[in-house]
Structure 1
Amino acid sequence: MKNPTRIAASIAAIGLTAGVAVSSIGIAGAAHGGALTEGSFSGRAEVAADATNNRIVGDPNGRGNAYVFSTGEGIVCYVLEVDKIEPATAAHIHAAPTGANGPVVVALSPPTTGTSAGCVDTGDAELAADITLNSPGDYYVNVHNTTYPGGAVRAQLGG
């Protein structure tokens, strides 16, 4: 699933306006002192709404990768790749550690064709730094679809 060349190309494309540096061997991070964090999508990582039920609530076949980085000044950029799920209808970064649900903190463009990439101005430099550098494990990316409106796949960041 991980295709470093495609990921680097996606990041380079969105980085033209975000100041992202991409090295010849992959992703170098953000030019303004930002950092790259990533996580692997899995339907098994989804958490039941009551967080007490251990049953799988996401797509058991879903998988993929999330790459999230900041370019400073509150800008969060991302590349999402998902596979083996129905078309995505929404994607977000949520604030919560592994095993817990949390509020949406950044809305992302859903990977309706399997991949999406872009940059979002959060208006909050501290939030962007927390997501990508200071405490990425306290955030996760969730991709939703009509079959799994609560979340088809989840990627805990910092992995």
Structure 2
Amino acid sequence: MSLSRITKTILLIFIVSMMGCSTDTDIPSEQIEEFNASVKSKVKFNFTTSLKGGNEVPANDSKAAGEAIIKISKDETYLEYKLIVANIDDVRMAHFHMAPAGTNGGIVTWLFGLADPPIDVNGILAEGVITEDDLTGALEGASFKDLLDAIRAGNIYVNVHTIDFPGGEIRGQL
């Protein structure tokens, strides 16, 4: 093969390969929908956490325990929750608070209370639905997506308050 023919072959290969590097950004809508569905399928919609006195800040030696179960709607406009507790007396209230693990934060929505008089519970303390209208404190007036982003980032915790532990007897980070 002559040098001229080799040069032409290399040049042809180069041109063909450069055509594959087009900057055309038209992506078929089906591919975009598939990609979005794939990303959405990896987004977490269900959360559970164990509530213990040792998770409180500062930690306490309460024998009470609990579990919070959170299910976010597929359209992300509401969430359902169930709060189950055991061995806990004089419950006053329960909330979602916003702060990372190891720190305390303000209330962003109510789950239960204000019970007056306080109640003793061994079972379901509260269950219900939370929407954007239920947001308070740092999230008052914010979008529901802001709460969901905080949950998914691990910056929301469930706190159950009692007479003996007004700052919170049991806590669990979502």
DSSP 3-state at the match of 1:67: strand
Deviates more, 1:110-119 or 1:98-107: 110-119
Q: Which residue does 2:11 correspond to in 1?
A: none
Q: Which residue does 1:129 correspond to in 2?
A: 148
Q: Over the residues paired in the alignment, what is the CA RMSD in angstroms?
A: 2.3
Say whether 1:100 aligns with 2:103: yes
Say whether 1:83 aligns with 2:93: no
User: How many angstroms does 1:60 deviate by?
Assistant: 1.9
Q: Which residue does 2:68 correspond to in 1?
A: 66
User: How many angstroms does 1:108 deviate by?
Assistant: 0.8
User: How many angstroms does 1:34 deviate by?
Assistant: 6.9
Asked if the contact 2:77–2:132 (Cα under 8 Å) also holds between the matched residues in 1, the reply is yes
**Equivalents in 2 of 1:128, 1:34: separation in Å?**
14
Q: 1:27-84 CA deviation, whole Å, 9 max, x = no partner? A: xxxxxx8711111000111103xxxxxxx33x52111111112224542321011111
Q: Which residue does 2:48 correspond to in 1?
A: 38
DSSP 3-state at the match of 1:85: strand
**Equivalents in 1 of 2:90, 2:82: separation in Å?**
16
**Equivalents in 2 of 1:131, 1:91: separation in Å?**
18
1:8-27 superposed matches below 5 A:
none
1:109-148 superposed matches below 5 A:
109-110=112-113, 112=119, 113=121, 114-115=123-124, 116-123=126-133, 124-132=143-151, 134-135=152-153, 137-148=154-165
**Equivalents in 2 of 1:34, 1:107: separation in Å?**
22
Q: Structure 1, unaligned stretches of length 5 or more?
A: 1-32, 49-55
Larger Rg, first or second structure (1 or 2): 2
User: How many angstroms does 1:118 deviate by?
Assistant: 0.5
Asked if the contact 1:35–1:70 (Cα under 8 Å) also holds between the matched residues in 2, the reply is yes
Asked if the contact 2:131–2:144 (Cα under 8 Å) also holds between the matched residues in 1, the reply is no
One-letter amino acid matched to 1:155: G
User: How many angstroms does 1:87 deviate by?
Assistant: 3.3
DSSP 3-state at the match of 1:98: coil
User: How many angstroms does 1:122 deviate by?
Assistant: 2.4
One-letter amino acid matched to 1:119: V
Q: Which residue does 2:166 correspond to in 1?
A: 149
**Equivalents in 1 of 2:162, 2:132: separation in Å?**
24
Asked if the contact 2:63–2:87 (Cα under 8 Å) also holds between the matched residues in 1, the reply is yes
Asked if the contact 2:55–2:170 (Cα under 8 Å) also holds between the matched residues in 1, the reply is yes
